[in-house]
Structure 1
């Protein structure tokens, strides 16, 4: 059973190598795909220079859902393992732990949940674990989810809604010592905070959408 790790990245030149190193050290991953979603920095160049990585550059920013779809369509892997490009504390054992429930067929999707990494991200994922970007799932299920191409920060919520509406098995996997770089750290407080508000707006809009992601 082939597993592809797919990393959708936007302006993550300072952080993506650490994530690729973690994936590279995993035992279960067969392929790594990075989709640079209209990045204006060196994200694509760094990913394309990394050994054994398929790097894809999108000319314009499509949003996370569109970038994930492009990554999924670029591989014939049986299982997709989606990881964020700004993770801190990720390693090969955690990568494998996310994939394992789908590999051994105890779940149709596994969601990685931050634990003991940073108080703010721990709390956010306790309150709303469905927003986590660390997840493994069968490729055939992912590509069947409708209307993801134009979804931005709410894509994980949309995926979770699809799984729930189809009564598919979802398992949580604790990722101890793992967190991610905050928007305020990347962009400065004001721009980062406004970006966070936009993210929560997108998530809320998807959560309240009763139809679009359930077919």
Structure 2
């Protein structure tokens, strides 16, 4: 079901689930603050200084005691704001600007789309390739907060993107991809070292790609 267009004065919040992203979360927060004064970071049981870095950059910070997954962190961030519209961002982005965020939010503000999904282009081979191979798994999105809170199992999915995509189909929402030029993500292999990063990536894709099978069994 499509939603009516948002008014030009509708509040916008940027929500950022984060786990051990102290090196990059500040940059993402500052980009978010260039769009709106309301930026919420939910630190998902981080063992580093993610929460401190986010707060120093100007974000409102919610701290989860334990690492419960991106879905739980996203849900906590959404609960910490009452803004009508939200821009959802990953905490490990580089090259993000206000222009990118405006590209994401404007189709939702105008009522053209119910959700816009950002895909990378020109930010780097690895992230460009991975994003284009599985664009439906992108963590850069804009939509109505109420709609996102209505996604079944949002707070219990370690990686919530498949659940969000399934809800797009179930609700008949209008959505499209938006190109985010020169934006990239810091790959897990760089953040954690090659072997630990590769293991984390394997676990992530295993969880993402088994979403439908797990939900059929539940």
Q: TM-score surpassing 0.5?
A: yes
The equivalent position to 1:111 in structure 2, one of 94, 100, 117, is 117
Q: Which residue of 1 aligns with 2:134?
A: 128
CA RMSD of aligned residues (A): 1.6
Do structure 1's residue 12 and structure 2's residue 24 form an aligned pair? no
Preserved contact between residue 12 and residue 85 of structure 1 (Cα < 8 Å): yes
Q: Deviations over 1:48-98 (max 9, x none)?
A: 2333x2111111111000100011111110011100111011111101111
Preserved contact between residue 153 and residue 163 of structure 2 (Cα < 8 Å): no
Show structure 1 runs of 5+ residues with no match.
none
Q: Which residue of 1 aligns with 2:12?
A: 3
Q: Deviations over 1:166-214 (max 9, x none)?
A: 110011100011110000000000000000000110111114456599x
Preserved contact between residue 146 and residue 212 of structure 1 (Cα < 8 Å): no
Q: Which residue of 2 aligns with 1:165?
A: 170
How far, CA to CA, are the matches of 1:163 and 1:19 in structure 2? Answer: 26
Preserved contact between residue 101 and residue 171 of structure 1 (Cα < 8 Å): no
Distance 1:156 1:212, change over 3 A: farther
How far, CA to CA, are the matches of 2:216 and 2:76 in structure 1? Answer: 23
Do structure 1's residue 79 and structure 2's residue 88 form an aligned pair? no
How far, CA to CA, are the matches of 1:23 and 1:212 in structure 2? Answer: 38
The number of residue pairs the alignment matches comes to 209
The equivalent position to 2:53 in structure 1, one of 22, 36, 46, is 46
Q: How does 1:63-102 map to 2 (within 5 A)?
A: 63-102=69-108
Q: Deviations over 1:148-180 (max 9, x none)?
A: 222113x11110111112110011100011110
How far, CA to CA, are the matches of 1:210 and 1:84 in structure 2? Answer: 25
Do structure 1's residue 24 and structure 2's residue 65 form an aligned pair? no
